[in-house]
Structure 1
Amino acid sequence: MIFTGPHPPTPVPDTSFSSFVLEHARRHADQVALVDVKGEVSFTYGELLAAVERVAGALRTRGFGPGDVLALLAPNLPEYPVVFHAAASAGGTVVVLNPLDTTPDLLAHLNGAGAVVLVTTEEQAARAAELVAGSKLREVVVFGQAPGTTPFAELLAHDDLADGPASGTLAPGPATGPLRVTDVDAAGDVVALLHSSGSTGRPKAVMLTHRNMSANVLQTCTATPLDERERVLAVAPFHHAFGLLMVMNSSLRQGATVVTMPRFDPQAYLQAIQDHRITRLYVVPTIAVLLARSPLVDQFDLSSVRTIVSGGAALDPRIARICEERLGCRVGQGYGLTEGLVSFMQIDGSPAGSVGRATPNIEFKIVDITTGQALGPGQEGEVLIRGPHVMKGYLDAPEATREALEPDGFLHTGDLARADGDGELFLVDRIKELIKYKGQQVSPVELEAVLMTHPKVTDAAVIGVPDEEASEIPKAFLVVKEPVTAQEIITFVAERVAPYKKIRQVQFIDAIPRTPVGKTQRRALKQHQDATP
């Protein structure tokens, strides 16, 4: 059985992603589009359009155009969407990178994507030198000043109209304002590369086309609409699909004001809501727990908040209810994945525990995980989704792409779920076994590989264990050949991985439970784990 949602089919425009997102920008040119949480840097919608065009022109004069890749390594800043849409308008691809990743991880992403330009912050400038030495980067641009780099202000001051395009053919923008973009094949050209950790090893680069991204934004705007007077607090990282699509681009498409926050701090977060009179919060469950239970909340005026949208991991219905009662707002959650974000969203009347119904243009089915046979309402199996938002594939990974995408366009999510007769989706477990730590994806296989390099470890397995604040934390089960402390293991891993990937608990056991073919039986570990930290 194939399920659909409550929305009628909605046409996805065959245009560049930037033209779609900024289509209505000139209508509210004097309204603030982006402002940092301290109020030091801001762009009105008119200034945003002008900045995108100038930076796109600067990139074109440097020879950047179709087929080229720009890497963006920065926290949430008002300049972030300027750079993203400038590169996209020039016909290029943007690979968004996590500043918390290790240098070897970043080099792997840069080289895999073939990035030629890196845009980053002053704080990352020293590391950028290492990245240049180990990659094909030909220029580093920084927000601010740093030796051996190009100031972003230089690109922002570029007179695009004087120089004209260096490559590609410029097409007129939407009727409401001529955003100058290089012609693209919306359905075929990749505008963004985001990394998704698979259960089989290191992260893979997800290729999203202009049409994929436009479809995602369109789904968000329909499922969780904003009006032009709303103010959105952007703390979900823009390098993550949740932050990039739902928070940044969907808000700009609808003319809201986006208040950027480079890092999460509970008190600063609550202060920002009060000071900026935030109306919409996009949160991960960790932040929802803070809003529901922290005594800090009572010290701030959060009465402006109308809606909270949770994503990144499943939200406990009890936490959602407490948030609604405490803040006097509506709390909803959605479900998707980097390969196909905004696939489901709760609507009024969605039952507790549901992640909602399919968003516009989405079809889904539940299939038996052994036979692949389609199942009916109430039956548990893997959820597969199909729609214009589903990725083009994994970069340079044809086998992984074939495993993820069926010939008929359905995407394997790796999640065990069931649907009721109304098409409400209920997640049961993750087949992929990814660990969701504060909205970040952590691969157990990657951590196991690190653990196996420790000289005292003979076998290792990693699972995610429930944690109220973080959703899940990585826990290691180890077989060792000589005595070693849990803290020694935790420190060993922490020195080799990004902070969000650190092992948080360790348990020593006699043997790792495995199937006859050697696969780790993670469910058995979850059933028999103890509370040993």
Structure 2
Amino acid sequence: MRKGDVVCLHGTNTPMFLHVFCGVTSNGASLTIANSQLTPGELLHQIQESNSRFIVTTPDCVLNAKTVVKQCHQVKNVIVLGDVEGCVPFSTIINDSNCSLPNVNIKPTNDVALLPYSSGTTGLPKGVMLTHHNLVAQLSQLRHHLYLPFTSGYDVSIAPLPMVHIAGLVIGLLNPVAQGATVVTLPRFEPETYLKAIQDYKGTFSLVAPPVVNFFASHPSVDNYDLSSFHTPYSGAAPLRYGMSETSPATHTSPLDGWKFGSIGKPLPNTESKVVDIGTGKSLGINEHGELWVRGPQVMKGYLNNHKATEEAINSDGWIKTGDIGYYDEDGHYYIIDRLKEIVKYKGYQVAPAYLESVLLAHPDVADSAVIGIPDDVTGALPRAFIVRKRDISEDKILQYVKDRVAPYKQLRGGVEFVDEIPKLPSGKILRRKLLEMYSSRNKA
């Protein structure tokens, strides 16, 4: 591995993820993280787009990794965090006494350390180039005494969120480790295992997906465990906290000394935030609704091999346009009320409607399609498809067709509805709000 190489980390949580991250970035290479639920086709796209030379994975994901290697000649071997026949064990690499860390000249503000993939409104995943400077700045912001400080030797973070997700890696793993806290890694969230880990390891902190907040409030098992040590459940990808892959990922959070219901909190240290008029870009005042823009040292270098998308996202003054509609109050607390972007957020995962629409349009019996997110109290939103048929086909067959082609979190859990036409503007833009209104009007309690 040399400076400039890209390594793909794909799998379920293991403590060895920290070794992989540190080893890759210390050598001047970049780490791209790929969700364990990706299909071989989706993983192949990310490997090729990022020009990854190595895949590091876990035993449960080896099959997908091997499938990709057969179709992608730039990757020679699958490195496994475990022991699987036909793969290179990661242990043989870290135990190699002949290996020595090279003296690499890293340029912090220019060299890419982390390359997560973020879905845009086009539905095509884009590589987010986060530099060493971006990540160090983010970790410094989070450890500020008003926001997310840890006490070395005391705090214990319980980590069930996928570390192949920007939040799980940076906030769930790197942030506590950088402050000397202990991290207890769980392969995935399972209620009893998670609660037992908090009890047995005296967990004090945990980064959790929004549905887990509801779990704490309502699940009967919670009362069966001693959770007295647990003082900071921390959540994002919803109004509880705000961020995006393009910002390493956090921009706003509620300070420890005060929060407001429904607010995403205040900007992190060294982070500027404003609300602008959607049409003119003019800065707006207190309680005026507009698009949220953010500027700070955690903002990405840009999108990989996509200068046009970078220019559209970040203006010449360094402000990144979040695509979210919101406002701020007289105390400087920010609120999100809508999205310009059409991303559906299911359990914190980003699902691009345009991507699912392209999958549906490849079906020979589908003439046209549109996908929206329908509100769900537990998961945030559920992708639902509206389909114009060429020929008769059942909802079950459509659901199975999509299930076979996309990761589990991208499936049409909100169902399928057959319509005569998809409402659109003359330009061809789908009127998703009209579809949501149509759905809501028929499903009022």
- Shift, 1:164, TM fit: 3.9
Structure 1 partner of 2:129: 207
1:458, distance to aligned residue in structure 2 (A): 1.5
Task: Work out which of the residue numbers 192, 195, 200 in structure 1 matches 2:117.
Answer: 195
Q: CA deviation at 1:414?
A: 0.7
In the alignment, which residue of structure 2 is the partner of 1:306?
Answer: 231
Give the count of matched residue pairs: 435
Deviations 1:365-402 (A, max 9, x none): 11111222221111111101001100000000111111
Aligned twin of 2:428: 518
Deviation at 1:295, TM superposition (A): 1.4
State how far apart, in whole Å, the 1-side matches of 2:167 and 2:265 are: 16
Aligned to 1:50: none
Q: Which runs of 5+ in 1 are unaligned?
A: 1-63, 171-181, 315-332
Residue identity (%) = 40
Q: Which moved more, 1:453-462 or 1:184-193?
A: 453-462
Match of 2:171 in 1: 246
Please state if 1:89 is matched with 2:26: yes
Q: Deviations over 1:431-489 (max 9, x none)?
A: 11111111111000000111112222221111111112211110111222333322221
- After superposition, the C-alpha distances for 1:174-208 in whole angstroms (9 at most, x for unaligned) are xxxxxxxx220000000010010101121101000
Distance 1:300 1:479 in 2: 51
Q: Structure 1 pair 302/509, CA: closer, same or farther in 2 (3 Å)?
A: same
1:250-296 Cα distance to aligned partner (Å, 9 max, x none): 01011111011111222222222222221112111111111111112
Between the aligned partners of 1:366 and 1:144, the Cα distance in structure 2 is 48
Report Cα offsets for 1:292-337 as digits up to 9, x if no partner. 11112122222221111110223xxxxxxxxxxxxxxxxxx32111
Aligned equivalent of 2:399: 490
1: distance between equivalents of 2:47 and 2:275? 36
Q: Shift of the alpha carbon at 1:148?
A: 2.6
The corresponding residue for 2:261 is 352
8 A contact 2:11–2:60 mirrored in 1: no
Q: Is 1:415–2:324 an aligned residue pair?
A: yes
Q: Which runs of 4+ in 1 moved over 6 A?
A: none
Q: Which residue of 2 aligns with 1:56?
A: none
Matched, 1:66 2:3: yes
Match of 1:292 in 2: 217
Query: Amino acid of the residue matched to residue 194 of structure 1?
Result: P
Inter-partner Cα distance in structure 2 for 1:286 and 1:154: 39
Kindly indicate whether the alpha-carbon contact (under 8 Å) linking 1:270 and 1:300 is maintained by their aligned counterparts in 2.
Answer: yes
Higher RCO by CA contacts (8 Å cutoff, separation 6 or greater)? 1
Counterpart contact for 1:73–1:120, Cα < 8 Å? yes
Out of 245, 254, 265, the position equivalent to 2:190 is 265
Structure 1 residue corresponding to 2:351, chosen from 439, 442, 463: 442
What code does the residue aligned with 1:224 have?
L
Q: Does 1:227 align with 2:151?
A: yes
1:111 aligns with 2:111: no
Matches within 5 A, 1:272-421: 272-314=197-239, 333-340=240-247, 341-347=249-255, 348-421=257-330
TM-superposed CA distance for 1:531, in Å, is 3.8
Aligned partners of 1:349, 1:119: CA distance in 2, in Å?
Answer: 41
Please tell me the residue identity of whatever aligns with 1:516.
P
Distance 1:484 1:189, change over 3 A: same
Return 129-138 or 337-346, whichever deviates more.
129-138
* Structure 2 SS opposite 1:312: coil
Q: State the alpha-carbon separation in 2 of the partners of residues 235 and 202 from structure 1.
A: 28
The residue type equivalent to 2:325 in the other structure is L
Secondary structure of 2:141's counterpart equals helix
Larger mean CA deviation between 480-489 and 86-95 belongs to 480-489
Distance in 2 of aligned mates of 1:125 and 1:352: 43
Partners of 2:64 and 2:342 in 1: CA distance: 32
Check 1:163–1:470 CA distance in 2 against 1; reply closer, same or farther (3 A cut).
closer
Question: Which residue in the other structure is 2:161 paired with?
Answer: 236
2: CA distance, partners of 1:481 / 1:92: 49
CA distance in 2, matches of 1:496, 1:206: 24
Give how far 1:138 is off.
2.5
Query: Which residue in the other structure is 1:157 paired with?
Result: 95
Normalising to structure 2: TM-score of the pair? Answer: 0.95
How far residue 163 of structure 1 moved from its aligned partner, in angstroms, is 5.1
- Please provide the CA RMSD for this pair: 1.5
Query: Normalising to structure 1: TM-score of the pair?
Result: 0.79
Per-residue CA deviation, residues 202-261 of structure 1 (Å, 9 max, x unaligned), is 110100000001111111111211112111111111111111111111010111110111
Q: Secondary structure at the match of 2:270?
A: coil
For 2:420 and 2:27, the matched residues in 1 are separated by 57
Range 134-143 or range 445-454, more displaced: 134-143
Instruction: Report the alpha carbon displacement of residue 360 of structure 1 after superposing the two structures with TM.
Output: 0.8
Q: 1:78 and 1:246 mapped to 2: Cα distance?
A: 15
C-alpha change, 1:305 and 1:163, in structure 2 (3 Å) is closer
Instruction: Describe the shift of the 1:227–1:163 C-alpha distance in structure 2 as closer, same or farther (beyond 3 A).
Output: closer
Distance 2:404 2:198 in 1: 35
Is contact 2:129-2:304 (8 Å) kept?
yes
Alpha-carbon distance in structure 2 between the residues aligned to 1:468 and 1:384:
27
Distance 1:164 1:512 in 2: 60
- Please state whether the residue corresponding to 1:72 is helix, strand or coil: strand
Match of 1:20 in 2: none
